[in-house]
Amino acid sequence: MKDLNNHQYAVEIKDVWSYYHDVPALKEVNLDLQERTFLGIIGPNGGGKSTLLKVILGLIEPDRGDVRIFGKKPKEARKIVGYVPQHSASRLDFPINVWDVVMMGRIGKTSLFRKYNPNDRKVVKESLEKVKMYEYRDRHIAELSGGQRQRVFIARALASEPKLLLLDEPVAGIDTTMQKEFYEMLEELKSHITIIMATHDISAVSIYVDKVACLNQKLYYHGSKELKPEDLEEAYGCPVEMIAHGVPHRVLKAH
Amino acid sequence: MLDILQYTFMQNAIVAGLMASIACGIIGVYVVVRKIVFISGGIAHASFGGIGLGYYLGMNPLFSVLPFSLLSALVIGLANRRTNIAEDTVIGILWSVGMALGVLFIGLTPGYAPDLMTYLFGNILTVPINDIYLMLVIDILIIASVYLLYKEFMAISFDEEFAQVSGLPVEKLSLYMLCLIALTIIVMIRVVGLILVIALLTIPASLSREFTDKLDRMMMLAVIFGTVFTFIGLFLSYYLNIPSGATIILTMAAGYMLHSHSREKIKKPHKINDKILIESVRYQIL
């Protein structure tokens, strides 16, 4: 608390443990993340990436430990956190167009019973322009490609004007050219917001993010863009060559 | 034909049909898009306990069913959110327990239970004026709630997790929506009866989905469809002297099937989707 004024972390996680029934999902997780950093979290399936994001969002209460978002508890920080969930395309048959989906991002800023105001519409328009989807605003969400839809859900998160943006496997199901565009958009965003992205995509992580962490119940993080080979081997439970095949020098220090 | 409109019972029937169509058009849209038809059916059938209680206490069953169906809605909602019991199990238990209680109460009531069939299968031609006032109050409450909570209801229906993350009181809103469904069921008891309620909640709403991609327009269309079908069913049942609730349901079902049939006929030649194309190519090769 002593240096709260001049040096505040965007995310502070101290000794967090979380169990799913009796199985540990997170063990002794510690993380200090500075503002305006783009952190990539990699790790095997079932390694707890989604759980960690949900702990940061306050959707899951950790069994032990403490989480602070800009010095606040997760539930109190919800207004400054944007979230792009995994498989957010699961309700394609819902009668809603692009504009109304992004408008939903404003709901945390508008009190109960109130209608959206002109400023809300302005922010929604800007968010859609940022992801280059404004011209699709009247389309039904089922009429978009997977990549376009993902950008709409990012616009929804941006519309809440977050200081911290959480992305859960954002490129799953998006083709490679779209992925590149998508990462370039995130690179632009990180100039003014903090981003945490959980992903399988090790090669993208190596190119676009500032910091890398590896999660398999335990979080391996050294505040840098490189991971130690032995950490990765422990997390994935197999030799590094198999994990980082093709791009070892970007994620890993030359060894 | 218009001379039958002079009769009070017919005027009441028309007003009751309109009230029911408004309630089920608006709330039915949420039931359909949230895919909670089975939950609504559970609340409706469990409400039979309230009908039985009304007979037992010697009061208007429509008033004793009110707390009963609201309680069923809250029990289903809370059990789904706060326990690990599977949703369909909770519904199944409540569904049958409510009905069993109703049968028990009626069995304990001395003598014969008059008009029991009316509550189970509806009779729009015998709606008393007091019940119409109750329906009116419920309709006003439903319209006001949906007007004021439109964006919140849309958010929890489309993406509950995002609504939670945005700081909305998701559990309270969901429970409130279930209570509105319970109230809608009460409005419809006199028109189509507890057993047939699900049809009125689902058919107009899902038919309206075929014509629009917007939630509010769906509601308006569903109200119109509901009203038209209810009136057609009402007049058919009057002139053919057949049960009104069943006639209304069958009219709706016929309208729905007619639409799906005509859609198949019109759309197919124009819209060849990839799957069909691939299939036909495959057949040609073979």
DSSP output for B114-140: TTHHHHHH--GGG--HHHHHHHHHHHH
Cβ within 8 Å, pair B215-A107: no
C-alpha pair distances (Å), A136 with each of A148, A179, B232: 9, 19, 41
What per-residue confidence (pLDDT) applies to B286? 45
- Give dist(CA B37, CA A168) in Å, integer: 31
> Are the beta carbons of B166 and A91 separated by less than 8 Å?
no
**Residue B1 confidence (pLDDT):** 61
For β-strands A23-34 and A64-69, DSSP reports them as: unpaired
CB contact, 8 Å: B160 with chain A? no
Interface of A with B in 79-98 (CB under 8 A): 79, 81, 83, 85, 88, 91, 94-97
Query: In chain A, which ranges are continuous DSSP H helix?
Result: 49-57, 98-103, 118-130, 146-159, 176-189, 202-208, 229-236, 240-243, 248-251
Complex ipTM over 0.85: no
- Across the A/B interface, how many CB contacts are shorter than 8 Å? 69
Q: Is-contact B219 B177, C-beta < 8 A?
A: no
The number of residues in chain B equals: 286
Kindly list the structural domains of chain B, giving each domain's residue range(s) and its CATH number in brackets, ordered by start: 7-285 (1.10.3470.10)
What's the pLDDT score for residue B228?
Answer: 96
Quick check: B141 contacting A, CB < 8 Å? no
Q: Name the residue among A96, A116, A160 with its Cβ closest to that of B215.
A: A96
Query: CA B54: distance to chain centroid?
Result: 22
Residue found under tokens 């539930």: A75
Q: How many CB atoms lie within 10 A of CB B85?
A: 11
Place of tokens 């789904």: B80
The answer, for A108 touching chain B at a CB cutoff of 8 Å, is yes
Closest Cβ–Cβ partner in B157, B167, B214 for A108: B167
Q: Which fold does the domain A9-200+207-221 belong to in CATH?
A: Rossmann fold (3.40.50)
Residues of chain A with confidence (pLDDT) below 70: 1-7, 87-90, 173, 228, 237-255
Q: For B158, which of A85, A94, A113 is closest by C-beta distance?
A: A94
Q: How distant is the Cα of B168 from the closest Cα of chain A, in angstroms?
A: 7
Q: Are B45 and B102 in contact (CB under 8 A)?
A: no
Structure tokens at B109: 């009531």
Contact by Cβ (8 Å): A102, A152: yes
- Select from A74, A240, A241, A88 the least CA-distant residue to A167: A88
Mean pLDDT for all residues in chain A:
82
Say if the Cβ atoms of A78 and B165 lie within 8 Å.
Answer: yes
Q: What is the pTM of this model?
A: 0.86
Local mean pLDDT, 10-residue blocks, chain B (286 residues): 80 93 96 94 94 91 91 94 90 94 92 83 88 94 96 94 90 96 92 90 94 93 96 93 92 92 60 47 47
Determine, for residues A88 and B148 on separate chains, whether the beta-carbon distance falls below 8 Å: no
Instruction: Tell me which DSSP letter residue A72 carries.
Output: B
Minimal Cβ distance to B213: which of A79, A81, A140: A140
Q: Is B82 exposed, middle or buried (0-12, 13-18, 19+ CB in 10 A)?
A: exposed
- Put simply, the answer to whether B215 touches A88 (Cβ < 8 Å) is no
Among A104, A106, A141, A160, most B C-beta atoms within 10 A, so best to mutate, is A104
Does an H or E element contain A219, and which?
strand A218-221
CA–CA gap between residue A234 and residue A44 (Å, rounded): 11
- CA separation for the pair A150, A6 (Å, rounded): 36
d(CA A49, CA B104): 53
**Strands A211-216 and A38-42, how do they pair?**
parallel
| Residue in B closest to A95 by C-alpha | B213
- What is residue B211's predicted lDDT score, i.e. its pLDDT? 92
Q: Where are the domains of chain A?
A: 9-200+207-221
Which residues on chain A are in Cβ contact (under 8 Å) with B167?
Answer: 75, 78-79, 108
Q: Quote the pLDDT of residue A237.
A: 66
Are residues B209 and A95, on separate chains, in Cβ contact within 8 Å? yes
Cβ-based contacts of A160 with chain B (< 8 Å): 166
On the CB side of B29, how many CA atoms lie within 13 Å of its CA?
A: 32
- C-alpha atoms less than 13 angstroms from C-alpha of A156 in its C-beta half-sphere: 30
B158 CB within 8 Å of a chain A CB: yes
